[in-house]
Amino acid sequence: MIANTDGGAFIRASGPHARRSTAPLQEAIGATADWLLGQQAADGYWVGELEGDTILESEYVLLMAFLGRERETVCVQACRYLLDFQQADGGWGNYPGGPSDLSTTVKAYFALKLLGTSTSDPVMVRAREAIHAAGGAQACNSFTRFYLALLGQISYDETPCVPPELLLIPSWLNFSLAAMSSWTRTIVVPLTIISALKPVRDLGPERGIAELFRDDLPRTPWRTARFFSWGNFFFGVDRVLRWADRHMPASWRQPGIRAAHRWMVDHFRNSDGLGAIFPPMIYTVVALECLGYERDSEPVQWALRQLEDLVIEEDGKVRLQPCVSPIWDTAIATIALADAKLPSYHPALFSAVRWLLEKEVRVAGDWAVRRPGVEPAGWHFQFNNEFYPDIDDTAMVLLALQRTALADSPEVSEATRRGVNWLLAMQNRDGGWAAFDVDIDNEVLTKVPFADHNAMLDPSCADITARILELLGTLGERVDHPSAARALDYLWRTQEPQGCWYGRWGVNYIYGTWQVLQGLSAIGFPMDDPRVQKGADWLESVQQPCGGWGESCHSYDDPSTMGQGEPTASQTAWALLGLIAAGRAETPCVTRGIQYLMATQRPDGSWDEAPFTGTGFPRVFYLRYHLYRVYFPLMALSRYQAAAGALPSESPGAQASRIPALPTPFEV
């Protein structure tokens, strides 16, 4: 028996009297649905591992080195994990199969050396050669430079100045903290404290990495070449601040430091770490140390616990997640199971709805600076991240809530009303939607010296904009809705000449194109429009001979490779969902895609998927969501079944008679 968490079988059963599946497609859907039901937590949520690159393990080891704890077992195990990912050229990359990245490689080398790896070890020799070939350690990005300064490898004069006085700039100015993306905000605030107070742990020359620097290149290569430019303007500001730091009384920085301290501590509330993401969690620990907190104090211990919660130990090795994704995973799993015809009153869906409703944010966060007076609502990505509900999660949760028997209940109706009103208030002036905030699009800020993480702004993107259209359409709105009309204008302006759309939060053009086609279909846009058909044609054009679809993260660096890469289950599912939304469910292209998914499905109902298909910061940081390989294919198979009429609308194995009597809603 393959059972769900409530003890009631969903689709498949085994034994001499079992009801046999009547079609391979139905069997495939049933196997995946059963697998997914088996992963649901007792509280009603789903959460899969969220995998990033090795900067997570390296930076954790470097933090522990700053604290004098680099010899602890967790660091040894993290370095064992690092060794598994060194590439043929000696470096470490940002995604499987991608080129080596200088900053990632420098941090990996440093971590390994701190754990006692000899510089003559072939691992280190090859890494050192790769670093020198890429310009030496001095060519690292700004955030890596702060780690090097923290551990005494460079002077703080060789890092960009991140002044705490940023927090004293009025929020209505477009150069203030409020003008930066939410993730940059949470990184920058503790970093301002570090930049001002300049903590250092002296490791001694024998444990340092002087051998990684090239003497023939400048130590601070971030000054721009043009004489008149915003980059040079900010470089000049940087020099003025350094002069003031050397010649002004120390007290001149205290108002900014106090403001940064207050902001940081205030944002600890109801959060899984500052911003609930890895980089600011690391900087929090260092900033608290700078401010004089004892290491056994509750704030420091709390900050360390948030990092420890991201640690996964397996086979004598340790890896870290950049954060966790329960709300995102729960919403998509709920939609996928509803697509698979799990009865809308099933206890698994009831418990998911109850858990999601409990996670609604009902207090104003950072977003309220630009949208004062809007009723707080929305959902974040992690278990707890009260200051940062995001637009994408909110839309996905609301879509999930509509797919259950509780959709018309007072609780869900009110949450939907609040959520939709909040989403509509968060539309950007260009007609699109971004991730966390409104109109965070001042390109000048991308020229500041510490903006080389490619995430200073939070502009509109096609994938999130299309998801809002999908939600509005699901709730009965059509293309004449004022917000939808503005969003459509944005989407047509951002369509690529080839017909596809850029994907900001998934890799890449396959993700963006699927989302747009699905959103257009939901809102009632004519799917025979030539622009729509051009998008569908593009998806068909990049199908691979095996029937699947795949696209590498490299397409962010080189758009000429759009739609090219190793086929994956998740990207194949996205392409199929886009084509089905475009009305092409019964075409040979879609049939071959469905056959590819069924042929590559594992016996347990899941799929293998090694490539990273999630996007954190394009060109900088990528992700592998471990549940993408399951719930998106389930969605595609199920929607194909419904659209092509391949099978009855209800799966015979639903077995309503086996489902226990349902309690009153919200008493599951």
| Tokens (6 digits) for 464 | 């999130």
Q: Is the dihedral of CA 301, 304, 310, 315 positive or negative?
A: negative
Task: Give 292: exposed, middle or buried? Use CB within 10 Å, 0-12, 13-18, 19+.
Answer: exposed
- CB atoms near residue 47 (< 10 Å): 20
Q: Is 392 a catalytic residue?
A: yes
Q: Please spell the DSSP secondary structure of 128-180, one letter per residue.
A: HHHHHHTT-GGGS-HHHHHHHHHTTSS-GGGS----GGGGGS-TTSTTSGGGS
Nearest to 451 by CA among 617, 265, 227: 617
Q: Which of 392, 437, 452, 463 is labelled catalytic?
A: 392
- Rounded to whole angstroms, the Cα distance separating 427 from 461 reads 11
Question: For residues 573 and 597, is the Cβ–Cβ distance under 8 A?
Answer: yes
| Tokens (6 digits) for 70 | 């680099």
Question: For residues 412 and 424, is the Cβ–Cβ distance under 8 A?
Answer: no
- Rounded to whole angstroms, the Cα distance separating 633 from 639 reads 10
Helix (H, G, I), strand (E, B) or coil at 50: strand
Residue with tokens 């000049």: 236
Nearest to 153 by CA among 209, 101, 221, 194: 209
What are the φ and ψ backbone dihedral angles of 570, each rounded to 5 degrees?
-70, -45
| Tokens (6 digits) for 454 | 């490619």
Task: Give 221: exposed, middle or buried? Use CB within 10 Å, 0-12, 13-18, 19+.
Answer: exposed
Nearest to 287 by CA among 200, 193, 152, 163: 193
Question: For residues 13 and 34, is the Cβ–Cβ distance under 8 A?
Answer: no
Question: For residues 106 and 147, is the Cβ–Cβ distance under 8 A?
Answer: no
Nearest to 174 by CA among 460, 388, 369, 449: 369
Q: Name the amino acid, one letter, at 571.
A: Q
First-last CA distance in the chain: 23
- Rounded to whole angstroms, the Cα distance separating 549 from 534 reads 17
Nearest to 658 by CA among 3, 17, 39: 3
**Residues noted as catalytic:** 392
